[in-house]
Chains A and B, each alone.
Chain A
Amino acid sequence: GAGVSQSPSNKVTEKGKDVELRCDPISGHTALYWYRQSLGQGLEFLIYFQGNSAPDKSGLPSDRFSAERTGGSVSTLTIQRTQQEDSAVYLCASSPRWSETQYFGPGTRLLVL
């Protein structure tokens, strides 16, 4: 079956613009995660969803970052007023239930000029 998909695969934007990143999890997976991976760095946890709710938003770097999930499926990560330090690969993962194996999407590579 289809894996986790993310769009766009690449995004170049100007500083100060808003961007929206999309994640389509594997069908039936209730848990969805967002991570950020900067060049040469490990995974930085941003937020996770159990169904449509996000029990832990503590990983979001600032109030410019927000995420939502609708219908227990698609999730969007929005970054407002982008800054150059937001440049990174944003990874989405889903799992059948909480704390089970996460299946990762290919990521969205964001470059803020």
Chain B
Amino acid sequence: AQSVTQPDIHITVSEGASLELRCNYSYGATPYLFWYVQSPGQGLQLLLKYFSGDTLVQGIKGFEAEFKRSQSSFNLRKPSVHWSDAAEYFCAVGSKTSYDKVIFGPGTSLSVIP
């Protein structure tokens, strides 16, 4: 069955510290992969996406993610977190080759300590 897991429900980091949010997927077809962010009271915004090519993708706000096919992972990273990064982060996976629905993970809530 297709699924997306985000093992960490909630993460707290200090401002300026590095960040890694985990995402693992189970998907039969070749996947498209996305990370979205939802700030408090705001809509969902795309951070970055992987369709093909370089497995290390750069996104907005200094975020990057690396697609590792062997580990079925697409972890999100940022070298230095800012207080404004506090938000809910969702990993999502879709199919390149079929009309399967895009599946979202349950989300990871990020808190940033000043």
The interface of chain A, by Cβ under 8 A from chain B, is 33, 35, 41-43, 45, 48, 50, 55-56, 59, 91, 93, 98-107
Cβ–Cβ < 8 Å partners of B106 in chain A? 41-42
Q: A42-B90, A56-B100 are in contact. List 20 more A-B contacts (CB 8 A).
A: A33-B102, A42-B104, A42-B107, A43-B44, A43-B90, A45-B101, A48-B101, A50-B99, A55-B99, A59-B101, A91-B43, A91-B44, A98-B94, A98-B99, A99-B95, A101-B46, A102-B44, A102-B102, A105-B43, A106-B43
Instruction: Let me know if B104 and A45 touch, CB within 8 A.
Output: yes
Cβ–Cβ < 8 Å partners of A104 in chain B? 36, 43-45
Q: Across the interface, name the chain B residue whose C-beta is closest to A105.
A: B43
The 10 A-B pairs with the shortest beta carbon distances in the complex, nearest first, are: A99-B94, A42-B106, A104-B44, A43-B104, A42-B107, A104-B43, A106-B43, A99-B32, A55-B99, A101-B46
Tell me the number of A-to-B contacts counted with CB atoms below 8 Å: 51
Instruction: Let me know if B34 and A101 touch, CB within 8 A.
Output: yes
Give the residue among B45, B90, B95, B107 with the most A Cβ atoms within 10 A. Answer: B107
